[in-house]
């Protein structure tokens, strides 16, 4: 199983985990978050993130998500990148996380593509014909 780490501003990562846990009926294993605040020193957080990556990696790799490209959490996450072992995706959202959790038994390169498509496909405009339709689902 591929481990998942979210490095994001404040409590966003834990909030996403809480929402995903609600959707999936329980907190998934090997899923952690690190919250970064304006007062944090990125150089002090990086070792904590490296240790979490080490703990989360069961041999299949780790997917690291961050929220905003170019922001401090993403800059920290980018320093964890180890192609083929630790992959980093920015712009994390709930559909992306759910897709990653659903397909984390697949090889890491495939999981990267599934997560990206989940994030992209999960962003859509709801028009008048969709009112009361019970919501959309993310495809496989």
Digit-coded pLDDT (tens) for 44-94: 999 999 999 999 999 999 999 999 999 999 999 999 999 999 999 999 999
Residue 99: per-residue pLDDT: 97
The Cα 113–Cα 2 span in angstroms is 14
Ramachandran angles phi, psi of 118, nearest 5°: -65, -40
Q: Residue 136: pLDDT band by 50, 70, 90 thresholds?
A: low
Helix-, strand-, coil-residue percentages of the chain, each rounded to 5: 45, 15, 40
pTM: 0.90
Both structure tokens of 96: 């992306």
The mean pLDDT of the chain is: 94
Domains and CATH numbers, the chain: 3-122 (3.40.50.510)
């Amino acid at each position: 199983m591929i481990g998942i780490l979210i490095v994001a501003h404040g409590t966003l990562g834990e909030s996403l985990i809480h929402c995903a846990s609600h959707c999936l009926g329980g907190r998934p294993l090997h899923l952690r978050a690190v919250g970064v605040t304006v007062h944090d020193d990125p150089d002090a957080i990086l070792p904590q993130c490296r240790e979490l990556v080490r703990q989360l990696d069961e041999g299949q790799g780790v997917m690291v998500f961050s929220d905003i490209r170019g922001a401090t959490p993403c800059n920290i996450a980018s320093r964890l990148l180890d192609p083929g072992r630790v992959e980093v995706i920015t712009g994390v959202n709930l559909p992306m996380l759910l897709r990653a959790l659903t397909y984390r038994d697949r090889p890491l390169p495939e999981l990267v593509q599934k997560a990206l498509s989940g994030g992209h496909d999960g962003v859509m405009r709801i028009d008048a014909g969709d009112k009361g339709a019970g919501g959309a689902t993310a495809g496989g």
